[in-house]
Structure 1
Amino acid sequence: MARFTSLLLLAAATLPFVFATSSDDCADNEFFYDAKSCCAPQGGISNPPSPPQGENQCPTSGWYWHPEKECCLPKQPQTPSSPPPQCGGNWFWNEGSSTCCTGGSTTTSTTPTPSANASKKRDNIAHKRAVAKARRSVLTCPDDMYACPISGLTGPTGDFECIDPKAELESCGGCVSTGEGQDCTAIEGVWNVGCEQGHCAIYTCAQGYKLSTDGASCLKL
């Protein structure tokens, strides 16, 4: 029976689109992506291909091209505190097609589902307001920088800051506030540390620690 269930899940994952109305329709390792009313794999897929050349692009961080669904999907669930999709150059995010497009402006669209209720509508309104505010912040960020949500003592503040994920010491490789990057200064036992090309580089360890053989951590003596 377990093998039969696994085969059904595998078959569903390979279909161009498996219609879903809520997270209840998704497997344990999936989340509900509202913009396309589908279930998406947590963390994305392994070795995703590039979008068709010249036709579409995917956001520069946290998104990937899904060949069967023929659109860009987020690697993690989208919440009001998630940074908005960021397209490079003169590309603009189109939520309806879930891709970065050229020759237009940023557009959004929401397709209601049969299971929508008052609570979900309120969440959608809050999400739209957060995304709109974030997009205003993104417009002030240079092309090579990302807009990361700023967290306060009680959670996301609704504000964003521009960071360079290739060199930002406290958000190395992506936004720490969304779980994509790493705070290099928080590595246990580090003394001198930097962010090189989106990866933490430990130069020296604090007293009582020594650098590991792979150079990725400090080991307590």
Structure 2
Amino acid sequence: MARFTSLLLLAAAALPFVFATQSADQCADSEFFYEAKTCCVPHGGVSNAPPPPQGSSQCPSDWYWDNTKACCLPPHPPTTTPQCGGSWSWNHGSSTCCDGGGSTTTTTPAPSANPVKSRSKPAHKRAATKARRSTFTCPDQLESCPISGLTGPTGDFECIDPQTELESCGGCASTGEGQDCTAIEGVWNVGCERGRCALYTCAQGYKLSADGTACEKL
């Protein structure tokens, strides 16, 4: 009985470590920070990844399933909203493809650094669903933004959280209301906090301005 109790105590003590979240500065050189699940993910993914639970979840074609986190993980920092097949739609909060074509949901992540390397877009992406305005409305606390194509408005829109969305921080960048934080010259680690771009570090050859709103060339 004493041995069984000790095993229970050891298991309980280990739980906080199993489910503990991570921050960007904890990631190794071979990893990148995936903000949707607040964890460090290996560059290139893993080999022999298990399939997702049959019937309840799917992963985008270039993503893989992680049993420990019970979600899909990207092999590289995502630069676009993941595409799901058929009637499945991407759910940012659970980081899986969900059946039924329902709207995506999102969590409110803690502010964190997102590498923007070689002008590539950061790991954090919008919780967005593209749809015709006449057939879809955004969930509460999300804002609908028009989607612009090469020749102008497409007639579609997407749902974003203007308080945390890097590419439409503070409002729809497509209408000029918000700011694309990833487009700031010289930025390296950047976030969107309460609707304002937050610059953490700058790329090599730049330094953070005194007011912290820009990266200045050295």
TM-score (norm 2): 0.44
